Amino acid sequence: MFESSQRPREYLWAYSKLPKPPLKVLDIGCGRSNGESGIEDFAKFLCEQGYDVTGIDIKPISWRHENFTFRHESITNNSLPSETFDVVVSFQVWHHVGMGYQLGVPKECQERCANGHIIFLNEVHRVLKTNGVAIITTVIEPSLRRDDTRQFTRETAHNLVVQKGFEVLHEEAITTPNYTLFLLHLRKKESNHG
């Protein structure tokens, strides 16, 4: 299904949590990172399954599909309409938002803001319909110590999403040789608490 992907377990977990199409999906960070092949496979797969997918990324992408719309903008400063999407997915992006991590983007265009992770959650909450589903994966400790990665603990990540108006439906940690990946399956509650 995701032959070229280096993240098949992450994608399969996410797909198992998705409601069935037709639905409107926002994929945050749908472009390639570090030249990694397969990062775009999840959005392509969803398009082929009948989902209406909008991708947003600060890096341009080259692929197209009739069920796909691309927005070349940052999630922290975007023109997406409120309460539009049934589902938001984001794979290993949250811990980089606001940390100045944008390979392939000119240095003068890289954003750095101390509360980028909070803006990210606020924007996910804003663009989701009430009771909409969010699937977010992020690196948590123990992790590689890098300047481009926000260091979350499992407890911190969990508490942040709850404070921002999400119900945690399921969470899981996957340990790899280099880091621990935290997978969150969330539902937007009726009102944002923060």
Residue 19 lies in a domain: yes
pLDDT band at residue 7 using 50, 70 and 90 as cut-offs: confident
Q: What is the pLDDT of residue 179?
A: 79
Q: For position 54, which CATH number holds?
A: 3.40.50.150
Q: Is residue 126 one of the residues assigned to a domain?
A: yes
pLDDT value at 34 more than 70: no
Q: How many domains does the chain have?
A: 1
Q: Which string of DSSP letters, residue by residue, matches the chain?
A: --TT-S-HHHHHHHHHHSPPSS-EEEEET-S-STT-TTTTHHHHHHHHTT-EEEEEESS------TTEEEEESBTTB--PPTT-EEEEEEES-GGGTTBT--TTS-GGG--B-TTHHHHHHHHHHHHEEEEEEEEEEEEESS----TTS--B-HHHHHHHHHHTTEEEEEEEEEE-SS-EEEEEEEEE-SS---
For residue 145, what pLDDT is reported?
62
- Give CA separation, 55 vs 12, 64, 95, 170, 194, in Å: 19, 11, 18, 24, 26
> Is residue 64 domain-resident?
yes
Whether the CB-CB separation of 141 and 182 falls below 8 Å is answered with no
Range of the domain at 93: 8-188
Lowest-pLDDT choice from 36-40, 97-101, 166-170: 36-40
Q: Cis before residue 60, ω within 30 degrees of 0?
A: no
pLDDT digits 0-9 by tens, 106-162:
455 456 677 888 999 999 999 999 999 999 999 887 655 666 677 888 999 999 999
State percent of the chain over pLDDT 70. Answer: 80
Q: 49-80, pLDDT tens digit by residue?
A: 999 999 999 888 888 999 999 999 989 889 99
Residue with the bigger pLDDT between 15 and 1: it is 15
Asked if residue 175 is part of any domain, the answer here is yes
Look up residue 41 and give its two tokens.
């496979």
Q: Is residue 43 part of a domain?
A: yes
Neighbours of 104 (CB within 10 A): 12
In a domain, 3, yes or no: no
Do the domain assignments include residue 2?
A: no
Asked if residue 38 has pLDDT above 80, the reply is: no
- The answer to whether residue 193 is domain-embedded is no
Residue 30 token pair: 């749908």
Is it the case that residue 170 has pLDDT exceeding 70? Answer: yes
